[in-house]
Chain A
Amino acid sequence: MVSVIFPPVLDPATGGVRTMDTDGSNVSEVLASLTVAMPGVVHHLLDETGALRPHVLCFADGTATRDLTTDVTETLRFLTAVSGG
Chain B
Amino acid sequence: MPTIAVGTEKGAFFIDSATQKSSDPVFPGWKVTAFGRSGDRYIATVGSNWFGVGVHHSTDMVNWTQTDSPPTYAEERPLDEIWTLHDTDDHLFAGVAEAGLFRSADHGDTWEAIPGLNDHPTRDQWLPGFGGLCAHRVLTAGDRIWVAISAVGVFRSDDGGDTFDPKNSGVTPVGDDGDGPPPEIGYCVHRIVAHPNDPDLIWRQDHRGMYRTRDGGDNWEKIETGLPSGFGFAIVREGSTGRLFVAPLHSDERRLPVNGEFRVYRSHDDGNSWEVSGSGWPEAPTHTSVLRGAIDADDRGHVAIGTTSGNVWLTSDSGDTWTALPQTFPRIGAITLW
Provide the residues of chain B in CB contact with A10, threshold 8 Å: 51
Chain A contact residue count (CB 8 A cutoff) = 21
Number of A-B contacts defined by CB within 8 Å: 58
Shortest CB-to-CB span from A59 to chain B, Å, is 15
Return the chain B residue nearest A44 by Cβ. Answer: B51
Listed stretches B74-82, B185-193, B311-319; interface member: B74-82
Listed stretches A21-29, A47-55, A66-74; interface member: A47-55
A15–B56 Cα distance when bound, in Å, is 11
Provide the residues of chain B in CB contact with A13, threshold 8 Å: 51, 54, 66
**Per-residue interface assignment for chain A, residues 39 to 67, with 1 indicating a CB less than 8 Å from any chain B CB and 0 otherwise:** 11001110111000101100000000000
**Per-residue interface assignment for chain B, residues 1 to 40, with 1 indicating a CB less than 8 Å from any chain A CB and 0 otherwise:** 0000000010000000000000000111110000000000
CB interface residues, A 1-25, toward B, < 8 Å? 9-10, 12-13, 15
Pairs A–B under 8 Å by Cβ, sample size 15? A9-B28, A9-B50, A10-B51, A12-B46, A15-B66, A40-B68, A43-B70, A47-B52, A47-B78, A48-B72, A48-B73, A48-B77, A56-B50, A56-B51, A85-B9
Return the chain B residue nearest A56 by Cβ. Answer: B50
Contact B50 A49 (CB under 8 A): no
Chain B contact residue count (CB 8 A cutoff) = 27
Q: Is A80 an interface residue (CB 8 A)?
A: yes
A12-B30, A40-B68 as given contacts; A45 in contact with B51, CB under 8 Å: yes
Provide the residues of chain B in CB contact with A45, threshold 8 Å: 51
Beyond the given A40-B66, A48-B73, A53-B50, could you list 18 further A-B residue pairs with CB under 8 A, ordered by the A residue number?
A9-B29, A9-B50, A9-B51, A10-B51, A12-B46, A13-B54, A15-B65, A15-B66, A39-B68, A40-B54, A43-B72, A44-B54, A48-B76, A48-B79, A49-B76, A55-B50, A83-B49, A85-B9
